[in-house]
């Protein structure tokens, strides 16, 4: 029987690569989006993945999306909390609403989806994957809110791995600098400077993250839980 997975933020960048990778590997995929809805519908038509609009910050929106997916998916084997937003601003100039948005999209979203799906994942022996960030491991200047939220996601991963065991595995991926629309806030010079510091001498591709995710969600990773897999070309190790 094919495995079934729910991916948040599947309409762009890393999420799109995840949808493509898991459908290509024969999984039944359901994904959410908030932005890029037109692209999401096209991806759904191309891959056969189910798609619906859902704001991960909003409990009702998550409940509605879950209800829709569960009618079709019934027994999920996996959840990837991927939805995310970027930020570039010094802390002194950050409005409280922006700080709260960072926490809500990354942490509240992962909390709401994980809490909603855990009972079903316990039944199937499934697993959860949280997409954190290298900046959650090292901290990035002008990205304090983003770094704090992504570090929080690592804490959530480690705590939930203990709590949800032995039925459910919980891991995280910490991508480095990956070529997606999220890099729009960086100038060419900044990206070139970052590339120069990467031992593998290139920026990452969304597929690099999807390959690591496919491994962590598979049976080959059945003895791995509570871990953070860095996919960063050696930028931080």
25 vs 55, beta carbon nearer ligand NAD: 55
Give least dist CB 164 to ligand NAD, A. Answer: 21
Query: In this structure, are strands 228-231 and 50-53 parallel, antiparallel, or unpaired?
Result: unpaired
For ligand NAD, the closer of residues 30 and 178 by Cβ is: 178
Near ligand NAD in 30-49, by CB under 6 A: 32-36
The single-letter DSSP state of residue 199 is T
As a whole number of angstroms, the distance between CA 32 and CA 16 comes to: 10
Would you please indicate which residues are annotated as catalytic (active-site) residues?
146
What are the distances in angstroms from CA 153 to CA 39, 51, 115?
A: 27, 24, 14
Q: Quick one: which segment of 20-28, 29-37, 66-74, 110-118 binds ligand NAD (CB under 6 A)?
A: 29-37
Q: In the block, which residue shows the tokens 């070309």?
A: 233
| 127-131: strand order across its sheet | 50-53, 28-33, 4-7, 78-81, 127-131, 169-175, 228-231
- Write each residue from 117 to 156 as x if it is in contact with ligand NAD (CB under 6 A), else as -, in one continuous string: --------------x-x-----------------------
Q: How far is the CB of 2 from ligand NAD (least distance, A)?
A: 23
Phi and psi, residue 79, nearest 5°: -135, 130
Q: Is residue 67 close enough to count as binding ligand NAD by CB under 6 A?
A: no
DSSP letter, residue 75: S
Q: What SS3 class is residue 193?
A: helix
Under 8 Å between Cβ of 82 and 10: yes
Nearest to 80 by CA among 3, 182, 162: 3
Tokens representing 17 are: 């690569």
Specify the stretch interacting with ligand NAD by CB under 6 A; choose among 3-11, 64-72, 157-165, 215-223. 3-11
Residues 162-201 within binding reach of ligand NAD (CB under 6 A)? 175, 177-178, 180-183
Residue among 94 and 124 whose Cβ is closer to ligand NAD: 94
| Rounded Cα gap, residues 172 and 80, in angstroms | 9
Q: How far is the CB of 123 from ligand NAD (least distance, A)?
A: 26
Window 96-115: contact mask with ligand NAD (x via CB under 6 A): ---------x----------
From the CB of 175, what's the least distance to ligand NAD, in Å?
Answer: 4
Task: Compute how many residues bind ligand NAD; rule: CB under 6 A.
Answer: 31
Would you say 16 or 77 has its CB closer to ligand NAD? 16
In this structure, what are the phi and psi dihedrals at residue 72, rounded to the nearest 5 degrees? -105, -30
- Interface residues with ligand NAD (CB under 6 A) are 8-15, 32-36, 54-57, 82-85, 105, 131, 133, 175, 177-178, 180-183
């Amino acid at each position: 029987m094919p495995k079934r997975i729910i991916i948040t933020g599947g309409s762009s960048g890393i999420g799109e690569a995840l949808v493509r990778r898991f459908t290509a590997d024969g999984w039944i995929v359901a994904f959410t989006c908030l932005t890029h809805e037109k692209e999401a519908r096209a991806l759904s038509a191309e891959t056969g993945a189910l798609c619906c609009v859902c704001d991960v910050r909003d409990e009702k929106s998550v409940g509605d999306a879950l209800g829709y997916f569960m009618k079709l998916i019934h027994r999920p084997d996996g959840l990837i909390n991927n939805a995310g937003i970027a930020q570039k601003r010094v802390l002194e100039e950050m409005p409280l609403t922006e700080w709260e948005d960072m926490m809500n999209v990354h942490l509240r979203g992962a909390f709401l989806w994980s809490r909603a799906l855990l009972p079903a994942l316990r039944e199937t022996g499934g697993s959860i994957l949280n997409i954190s960030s290298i900046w959650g491991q090292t901290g990035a200047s002008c990205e304090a809110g983003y770094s704090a939220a992504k570090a929080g996601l690592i804490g959530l991963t480690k705590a939930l791995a203990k709590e949800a065991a032995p039925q459910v595995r919980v891991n995280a991926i910490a991508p480095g600098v990956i070529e997606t629309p999220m890099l729009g806030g960086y100038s060419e010079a900044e990206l070139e400077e970052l590339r120069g510091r990467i031992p593998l001498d290139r920026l990452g591709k969304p597929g690099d993250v999807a390959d690591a995710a496919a491994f962590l969600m598979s049976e080959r990773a059945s003895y791995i839980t509570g871990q953070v897999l860095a996919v960063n070309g050696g930028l931080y190790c």
